[in-house]
Amino acid sequence: MSTAENLQWSLIVPVKVLARAKTRMSATAGPHRESLALAVATDTVAAALRCDRVRTVIVVTDDPLPAADLAALGARVVPDVPDAGLNPALVYGAARGRELAADAGVGALSADLPALRPRELALVLDAAADAPEAFVPDAAGTGTTLYTTRPGVAFSPAFGADSRAAHRARGARELALPGTDTVRRDVDTLDDLRAALALGTGPRTAAVAANLPALA
């Protein structure tokens, strides 16, 4: 078997405090905005936990509501101790992952992938196992939905504006594989949500989306 077939992963999923989540959807989601943010994160983590390449999902959050829900699914939850922004939170989570499993790869996974399929995530992680650093660009082609490092490789994510370009500039291998649309389909806007629903989201997102007038 190849290294790619053997390597297991610890995935770090950052989850915003719900009051600050999905703000770009405030007008369309209205009173359902926080419920939508929680549903999307829950479906994302549930799918990641069902992927047989994933040994552990570590959620970094300071919000007790998603912390409780995601821990109930089987994720390990840690607080955002650095409280210094997204990338420091991911580095902190990755350090916890390496304490738990030094022989596993580490990846930072967006919490905004409600259509995520475990099989597609496995395809991407197997490809990532062949590179010291790798990343998956988002559907829009400017951002990143997954950043990975092999065991022993420094974990230095560059999420933020134009993160695709930033990760490429650092020498990370870009993984835009055919048949992995659900790993790239993050949700920030109503159109994103429509696209995710067309792919088929998890049950929590589908249930909240059914209550949105904009999707009626």
In a domain, residue 149? The reply is yes
Report pLDDT digits (tens) over 7-16.
Answer: 999 999 999 9
Range list of H helices, the chain: 3-6, 26-29, 33-49, 64-73, 86-100, 118-128, 163-169, 181-184, 190-199, 203-209
Q: Quick one: CA dihedral 140, 141, 143, 149, positive or negative? A: positive
Q: Which residues are annotated as a binding site?
A: 144, 160, 163
In a domain, residue 216? The reply is no
The pLDDT confidence band at residue 85, using thresholds 50, 70 and 90, is very high
| pLDDT at residue number 6 | 82
CATH number at residue 152: 3.90.550.10
CA distance 202 to 205: 6
Q: Which residues are annotated as a binding site for phosphoenolpyruvate?
A: 144, 160, 163
Report the domain count for the chain: 1
Is residue 152 a contact partner of residue 162, using CB atoms and an 8 Å limit?
no
In a domain, residue 124? The reply is yes
In a domain, residue 215? The reply is no
Write out the residue range of the structural domain in which residue 89 sits. Answer: 3-210
In a domain, residue 92? The reply is yes
In a domain, residue 147? The reply is yes
Task: Give percent of the chain above pLDDT 90.
Answer: 95
In a domain, residue 11? The reply is yes
For residues 18-40, average pLDDT: 94
Report pLDDT digits (tens) over 135-153.
Answer: 999 999 999 999 999 999 9
For residues 61-75, average pLDDT: 97
- Please tell me what DSSP assigns to residue 115: T
The pLDDT confidence band at residue 216, using thresholds 50, 70 and 90, is confident
Q: What are the backbone angles phi and psi of residue 26, rounded to the nearest 5°?
A: -60, -45
